[in-house]
A and B are shown apart, each in its own frame.
Chain A
Amino acid sequence: MEGVLVVAEHREGRLSPATFELIALGRALAVRTDGLRVAVLGSGVERIASHVAEHAEVVLVQDPLLREYTPGGYAQALAVVRRSVDPKVVLLPHSSQGFDLAPALAAEWESPIVTNVVGLSIEGDQALAYRKILNDKLVAEVELSSEKPFIITVRPGGKASDPLPSPAPITNASVSIDASKLGARFVRYEKPQVQDIDIASADIVVSAGRGIKEKKNLALVEAFAKALGGVVGASRPLTDMEWLPKTRQVGQSGKTVRPKLYVACGISGAMQHVSGMKDAGTIIAINTDPTAPIFEVAHYGFTANVLELLPAVVKELKGA
Chain B
Amino acid sequence: MVLNIVVCMKQVPNPDLQFQINPEGTDIRRDALNYRTNGADEYALEEAVRLKEKHGGRVTVITAGPKRTEPMLREALAKGADEAVRVAVDDPAPYDAMKVARILAAAVKTIPHDLVLTGVQSDDHINSLTGGLLAATLGRPHASVVTKVDLSGTTVTASRELEGGDIQVVQLDTPAVLTIQFGTNTPRYAPLPAIMKASRQPIRELGPAALGAATWEDFATGYAFRVHRLSPPEAKGHAEMFTGPVAEQAKRLARLLREKGFYRG
* Chain A interface residues toward B at CB < 8 A: 11, 16, 70-72, 94-97, 99-100, 102-104, 106-108, 110-113, 115-116, 128, 131-146, 148, 153, 183-192, 204, 227-229, 236-237, 239-241, 246, 249, 252-256, 260-261, 268, 271, 282-285, 289-291, 293, 295-305, 308-309, 312-313, 315-318, 320
A96-B144, A191-B166 known, 19 other contacts, Cβ within 8 Å: A100-B160, A108-B136, A112-B223, A138-B28, A138-B232, A139-B234, A140-B229, A141-B230, A184-B171, A188-B168, A237-B182, A254-B165, A255-B165, A299-B237, A301-B242, A304-B249, A309-B250, A312-B246, A317-B254
When the two chains form the complex, which single residue of A100, A134, A145, A187 contacts B145, counting CB atoms closer than 8 Å?
A: A100
Q: What's the nearest-Cβ distance from chain A to residue B42, in Å?
A: 11
| Cα distance, A290 to B15, chains bound together (Å) | 14
A94, A153, A187, most chain B CB atoms within 10 A: A187
Whether the pair B246, A187 counts as a contact (CB closer than 8 A) is: no
**B residues near A183, Cβ cutoff 8 Å:** 141-142, 172
User: 6 closest Cβ contacts across the A-B interface?
Assistant: A103-B132, A240-B183, A107-B136, A301-B239, A312-B250, A146-B223
* Chain B nearest CB, measured from A109 CB (Å): 10
CB under 8 Å from chain A, chain B span 141-179? 141-145, 157-172, 176
Give the distance to chain A from B46, nearest Cβ to Cβ, in Å: 12
Which chain B residue has the least Cβ–Cβ distance from A192?
B165
Question: Would you mind naming 16 contact pairs between A and B with Cβ atoms under 8 Å apart?
Answer: A103-B132, A104-B135, A113-B98, A135-B15, A141-B228, A142-B225, A145-B224, A146-B222, A184-B176, A185-B172, A252-B163, A255-B165, A290-B243, A295-B241, A313-B250, A317-B254
Q: Is the beta-carbon distance between A128 and B169 smaller than 8 angstroms?
A: no
Q: Are B98 and A112 in contact (CB under 8 A)?
A: yes
Neighbouring B residues of A72 by C-beta, 8 Å = 141
Residues in A whose Cβ lies below 8 Å from that of B172: 183-185
B199, CB-defined interface residue at 8 Å? no
Contact between chains at B128 and A128 (CB < 8 Å) = no
A134-B124 in contact given A145-B223, A145-B224, A253-B161 (Cβ < 8 Å): yes
Q: How far is the CA of A196 from the CA of B173 in the complex (A)?
A: 37
User: Which residues of B come within 8 Å of A, CB atoms?
Assistant: 13, 15-16, 18-19, 21, 28, 95, 97-98, 101, 123-129, 131-133, 135-137, 141-145, 157-172, 176, 181-183, 221-243, 246-247, 249-254, 256-258, 260, 262-265
In the complex the two chains form, is A236's CB within 8 Å of B223's CB?
Answer: no
Contact A188 B169 (CB under 8 A): yes
A289 to B241, CA, bound (A): 12
A184-B143, A313-B253 are contacts. A240–B224 as well, Cβ < 8 Å? no
A316 to B257, CA, bound (A): 11
Q: Give the residues in chain A near B232, CB-CB below 8 Å.
A: 137-139
Select which of B160, B169, B240 is within 8 A of A301 by beta carbon: B240
Cβ A291 vs Cβ B143 within 8 A: no
Contacts of B161 in A (CB 8 A): 96, 253
When the two chains form their complex, are residues A106 and B227 in contact, meaning their CB atoms are under 8 A apart? no
Residues of A within 8 A of B127 (CB): 115-116
- Cα A143 to Cα B164 in complex, Å, equals 33
Inter-subunit contact B129/A100 (CB<8 Å): no
Contact B98 A99 (CB under 8 A): no
A266 CA / B197 CA spacing, docked (Å): 38
Smallest CB–CB gap between B124 and chain A, Å?
Answer: 6
Within the assembled complex, what's the spacing in Å between the Cα atoms of A177 and B90?
A: 43
CA distance A313 to B265 in the complex (A): 13
In contact, A190 and B166 (Cβ under 8 angstroms): yes
- Docked-complex contact B257 and A104, CB < 8 angstroms: no
A261–B258 alpha-carbon span in the complex (Å) = 12
How distant is the Cα of A34 from the Cα of B157 in the complex, in angstroms? 42
